[in-house]
Amino acid sequence: MSDTPQYLSGSEIRSYFLDFFAKNQHQILPSASLVPEDPTVLLTIAGMLPFKPIFLGQQKPDYPRATTSQKCIRTNDIENVGRTARHHTFFEMLGNFSFGDYFKEQAIKWAWELSTKVFKLPPDQIVVSVFEEDDEAFEIWRDKINIPPQRIKRMGKKDNFWQAGPTGPCGPCSELYYDFHPELGDKTIDLEDDSRFIEFYNLVFMQYNQDAEGNLTPLQNKNIDTGMGLERMAQILQKVPNNYETDLIFPIIQAAADIAKIEYKKADEKTKVSLKVIGDHVRAVVHMIADGITASNTGRGYVLRRLIRRVVRHGRLIGIEGAFINQVAEVAIALSETAYPNVRQRETPIKGELDREEAAFLTTLERGEKLLSEIIAKVKKSKKKQISGVDAFKLYDTYGFPLELTQEIAEEEGLTVNVEEFDEEMKKQQDQSKAAHETIDLTVQGSLDKLAEHIHPTEFLGYTDAQSVAHVEVVLVDGKTVDSAEAGTEVQIVLNQTPFYAESGGQIGDKGYLTGETLVVRVEDVQKESAFFVHFGRVERGTITVGDSVTATIDRACRRRVQAHHTATHLLQAALKKIVDDSVSQAGSLVTFDRLRFDFNCPRPVTPEELQQIEDLINNWIAEAHEAHVSIMALEEAKAKGAVAMFGEKYGAEVRVLDVPGVSMELCGGTHVRNTAEIGLFKIMSESGVAAGIRRIEAVAGPAVLEYLNEREAVVKDLCDRFKVKPHEISDRITALQSELKSTQKQMESLQQELAIAKSDQLLSNAESVGDFKVLVAEIEGVDPNGLMTAAERLQQKLGESAVILGSIPSEGKVSLVAAFSPKVIKEKKLQAGKFIGEIAKICGGGGGGRPNLAQAGGRDSSKLKEALESAKKQLADSLK
Ligand code: ATP
Ligand code: MG
């Protein structure tokens, strides 16, 4: 046996590899992103992926030879993580590549030289495999490298033939395995036995093109693609029993073990698996977020979410309570910062995303785990081996518990999950919701009623928190539940928990934002629908999806203003009791960010003097800076302490009490200032009656006072500008203007009279003779009713024994009619002015009357005036003949 390999750190292995190939004219290229350019692949799974277009002949290489250390993620190995010694989700693949340059023999020779000379692996501890039909490779290993033929294993197509797809470049591979137990001899070589062998290096000889019929034709330009697992080489060189205990990963595991207060070496197998899962996944998620991936319910976002969730869950399995992921992530970031500087640069988004996802999932977990353990107990009790698909689906649907997670936990208990039934349930629900979307009533309440059995009441965090991470439980658009909503959509959102206050007890709902890495939803209002807080808003940016974790942040400034008004409302009630009457009680209230409105029982108006006293008293309490305490107590206790409750309101056995000691004590579920000083200032705007025995006071507090006063000041300023006076002169100025207006009006009236007289004189010649009488029927334009009377009276006197009818349209849609009859008309012809004109006015849709000699009437239909006058003329002609 040769000398044992020497210890090399992970980063030494990386640079030895790259340097070795650089010395052999390979260009060292940086690792590509975990997010591949190739849109058909979710994540970068091998070192060759970035070069795929070159191998497929779609792109010309910049260099004939290249070498890289490529970060990779393989989700298909996720179940092996922690269970085998050699599989990770995230690992680094060291590779050397030839693009139509060197080929098989050179690749094998360098692989051997690197393994035995650089990494100093004993030649008799290396076993190789070749494709069963690849005699060329077999012979190179046997004749050029001198490996005994019994240690060159021929393998089938499944293991040792590489293809990128059904057609295109392909070829045989040859793998190098390290033999941990050469003492067992050459007779029993089984490369599948991973307690003895580990594959560490794979050489792909891309030498054929496969056509659609499956025919292989030799390629003109043959390529080499290789991959060596960095972690696997580290395991070998660091003489540890698995990849996880190498310097690349173990510090992460150590950090998790410290948090869980576990000694890794002494831990049982199950605990070790959890620690390894944490060590592996934390590296993966740190690099994924560094490369710009964010958690979501689809694609690579879902891979990320699933990995984070597994970390959280395994953390709980080993006894870690609460959030821990970022403590561990910090170690992973530190470990990778020299080789991958982008990781430290993206520290803030990484930690933010991890925080959010972890918090959201912890909540989900707590709920789901409880239910799942009940289900497991039930299954075990009935001596079954399988969890039903219905139960698994309920966990998924109601608790956001992924199927894989249920399967994993079940597996730990020796149970399986009926996946077929799960899929059926899933399909059933999809069909149902499709049908439901067509028939349900499209109100928010309607949709929520349907969901009420599935989702938990919203937890309100807003008494203490202005911001929190939350899980999106429901998204509604136009009252219908949807999976997601895009920018520009008006939405209603239900979260599992929220700092947003939902309108109640007179206090309006909070405003604010729900955000994610790329998401912004502006929340305009929050309303309670039974036990759910429904956030009404609009997606401003990104897409909101059920299952997302979001950061819910209230508009703190807005909330402070609401709180000032709310506490001020309590002070107002206390002041009213003190100054007006102790029997004053609340009849209703509204607390918003710009004012408060308080309705109360009181048989009489509150006098201006009392209002002033109330305002002063409240401002005194504010200036005295009283603490405001909230406490939860039994209803009886609260009543005994004299807390004010609203009459007729139903309270639970436990009540929330806002106490401003010595000033006010009231049952209240709202949010309040901590000290009356925060209110700043209080100002009553108005006092009025709203119903019999109920008065209303509107007032402002805090910054709203200033706004109210500014508004008032603007009015005063405007008046000063217009009247060209100082504020204190406004009143005198208005009195002067009022008397000026009065005398102007008087002048106007007499002018009207004069105008009527002047116009009527012109009409004298229009009078006609009927029998012994003169008859004058005419319209006068632009004369008011009084002027019309004067004119008619005057005309009749001038005409002697006569009947005069005048009409005018004093303003749009109005008709004025006047009749003036001389005594003989009244006595001999028995005509009365009042009766006569009243009848005529009916034609214009009106009526009226007056004395026999002079009367006035009005109507609304000015278009009928001519007809009315015609009718009057005809009647007079008939009657006076
Ligand atoms: P295995 O059979 O052990 O899963 P593989 O045949 O899938 O390996 P390749 O696809 O040939 O591996 O990848 C090339 C090299 O990358 C492997 O020889 C190994 O060193 C490393 N590698 C592959 N998958 C993983 C993994 N999940 N974790 C760590 N290293 C890996
Ligand atoms: Mg594999």
CB atoms within 10 A of CB 80: 15
Whether the per-residue pLDDT at 693 is higher than 90: the answer is no
Last residue of a domain, one of 198, 217, 245: 245
Q: Could you tell me if 534 and 594 lie in one domain?
A: no
Last residue of a domain, one of 334, 366, 398: 366
Overall pTM > 0.85: no
Computed over its alpha carbons, how large is the radius of gyration of the chain?
Answer: 46
Which pLDDT score is estimated for 696?
94
Tokens of 376: 């497991």
Whether the per-residue pLDDT at 456 is higher than 50: the answer is yes
500: left (phi over 0), alpha (psi -120 to 50) or beta: beta
Q: Could you tell me if 475 and 397 lie in one domain?
A: no
Least confident of 142-151, 589-598, 640-649: 640-649
Which carries the bigger pLDDT value, residue 481 or residue 466? Answer: 466
Q: Please compute the mean of the pLDDT values over residues 646-672 and round it to a whole number.
A: 85
Which pLDDT score is estimated for 31?
94
Least confident of 393-407, 688-702, 866-880: 393-407
Q: Please compute the mean of the pLDDT values over residues 380-385 and round it to a whole number.
A: 90
Which pLDDT score is estimated for 439?
34
Least confident of 226-240, 387-401, 587-601: 387-401
**Which residue lies with its CA nearest to atom 23 of ligand 1?**
229
Which pLDDT score is estimated for 432?
64
Question: Does residue 717 sit within a domain?
Answer: no
Tens of pLDDT, residues 797-813: 999 999 999 999 888 77
Q: How far is residue 780 from each of residues 660, 762, 770, 833, measured CA to CA in Å?
A: 75, 10, 22, 19
Distance CA 672, CA 595 (A): 15
Q: Could you tell me if 91 and 233 lie in one domain?
A: yes
Question: Does residue 722 sit within a domain?
Answer: no
Which pLDDT score is estimated for 751?
86
CATH number of residue 602's parent domain: 3.30.980.10
Which pLDDT score is estimated for 434?
52
Which pLDDT score is estimated for 649?
64
**To test ligand 1's pocket by mutation, which of 93, 235, 248 has the most ligand atoms within 8 angstroms of CB?**
93
Which pLDDT score is estimated for 812?
77
CATH number of residue 207's parent domain: 3.30.930.10
**Which residue lies with its CA nearest to atom 22 of ligand 1?**
229
Query: Is 718 exposed, middle or buried (CB count within 10 Å of its CB: 0-12, 13-18, 19+)?
Result: exposed
Q: Please compute the mean of the pLDDT values over residues 162-187 and round it to a whole number.
A: 88
Ligand nearest to the CA of 202: 1
Q: Could you tell me if 254 and 353 lie in one domain?
A: yes
Question: Does residue 47 sit within a domain?
Answer: yes
Question: Does residue 733 sit within a domain?
Answer: no
Report the atom number in ligand 1 closest to the C-alpha of 173: 11
Q: Please compute the mean of the pLDDT values over residues 605-634 and round it to a whole number.
A: 95
Ligand nearest to the CA of 232: 1
Tens of pLDDT, residues 695-738: 999 999 999 999 999 999 999 999 999 999 999 999 999 999 99
Tens of pLDDT, residues 103-113: 999 999 999 99
Q: Could you tell me if 596 and 537 lie in one domain?
A: no
Whether the per-residue pLDDT at 250 is higher than 50: the answer is yes
Three state DSSP letters for 66-128: EEEEEEEECHHHHHHCCCCCCCCCEEEEEEEEEECCCCHHHHHHHHHHHHHHHCCCCHHHEEE
For residue 625, give the amino acid letter: A
Q: Please compute the mean of the pLDDT values over residues 423-438 and round it to a whole number.
A: 66
Q: What confidence category does residue 1 fall into, taking pLDDT thresholds of 50, 70 and 90?
A: very low
Helices in 318-400 by DSSP H: which ranges? 325-336, 341-345, 347-381, 389-399
- SS3 category, 150: helix
CB atoms within 10 A of CB 259: 19
Give yes or no for a contact between 797 and 767, defined as CB atoms under 8 angstroms apart. Answer: no
Q: Please compute the mean of the pLDDT values over residues 777-789 and round it to a whole number.
A: 85
CB atoms within 10 A of CB 319: 12
**Which residue lies with its CA nearest to atom 19 of ligand 1?**
229
Which pLDDT score is estimated for 437?
36
CA 49 to chain centroid: 37
**Pocket residues for ligand 1 (CB within 6 Å)?**
74, 77, 86-88, 91, 93, 199-202, 227-229, 231-232
Whether the per-residue pLDDT at 440 is higher than 80: the answer is no
Residues 6+ away with beta carbon under 8 Å from 93: 46, 47, 69, 70, 72, 227, 228, 229, 230
Question: Does residue 193 sit within a domain?
Answer: yes
CA 743 to chain centroid: 65
Residues annotated within the binding site for Zn(2+) are: 566, 570, 668, 672
Question: Does residue 345 sit within a domain?
Answer: yes
Q: Could you tell me if 237 and 328 lie in one domain?
A: no
Q: Residue 671's closest CA among 866, 474, 868, 508?
A: 508
CATH number of residue 534's parent domain: 2.40.30.130
How many separate domains does the chain show? Answer: 6
Q: Please compute the mean of the pLDDT values over residues 442-456 and round it to a whole number.
A: 64
Least confident of 208-217, 325-334, 492-501: 208-217
Q: Could you tell me if 232 and 134 lie in one domain?
A: yes
The secondary structure of 287-299 as a DSSP string is: HHHHTT----SSH
Q: Could you tell me if 139 and 24 lie in one domain?
A: yes
Q: What confidence category does residue 478 fall into, taking pLDDT thresholds of 50, 70 and 90?
A: confident
Strand partners, 528: 533
At CA 797, angle to CA 791 and CA 799, rounded to 5? 100
Question: Does residue 373 sit within a domain?
Answer: no
CATH number of residue 787's parent domain: 3.10.310.40
Sole residue written with tokens 């201006």: 608
Q: What's the mean per-residue pLDDT of the chain? A: 90
Q: What confidence category does residue 445 fall into, taking pLDDT thresholds of 50, 70 and 90?
A: low
**Which residue lies with its CA nearest to atom 13 of ligand 1?**
227
Last residue of a domain, one of 366, 393, 426: 366
Q: What confidence category does residue 880 fall into, taking pLDDT thresholds of 50, 70 and 90?
A: confident
Distance CA 499, CA 458 (A): 10
Q: Could you tell me if 424 and 573 lie in one domain?
A: no
Whether the per-residue pLDDT at 648 is higher than 70: the answer is no
Q: What percent of the chain has pLDDT over 90?
A: 64
Tens of pLDDT, residues 141-151: 999 999 999 99
Q: Note down the domain range covering 651.
A: 559-709
Least confident of 64-73, 115-124, 364-373, 463-472: 364-373
The secondary structure of 804-827 as a DSSP string is: EEEEE--STT-EEEEEEE-HHHHH
Q: What confidence category does residue 2 fall into, taking pLDDT thresholds of 50, 70 and 90?
A: very low
Rounded distance from Cα 12 to ligand 2 centre (Å): 25
Q: Please compute the mean of the pLDDT values over residues 555-562 and round it to a whole number.
A: 94
Tens of pLDDT, residues 94-104: 999 999 999 99
CA 273 to chain centroid: 37
Question: Does residue 637 sit within a domain?
Answer: yes
Distance CA 748, CA 755 (A): 10
Residues annotated within the binding site are: 566, 570, 668, 672
Q: Could you tell me if 420 and 284 lie in one domain?
A: no
Least confident of 55-64, 228-237, 568-577: 55-64
Which pLDDT score is estimated for 653?
76
Ligand nearest to the CA of 226: 1
Q: Please compute the mean of the pLDDT values over residues 339-366 and round it to a whole number.
A: 90
Whether the per-residue pLDDT at 375 is higher than 60: the answer is yes
Q: Could you tell me if 547 and 584 lie in one domain?
A: no
Which pLDDT score is estimated for 412?
86
**Which residue lies with its CA nearest to atom 8 of ligand 1?**
199
Give yes or no for a contact between 496 and 456, defined as CB atoms under 8 angstroms apart. Answer: yes
Q: Could you tell me if 569 and 592 lie in one domain?
A: yes
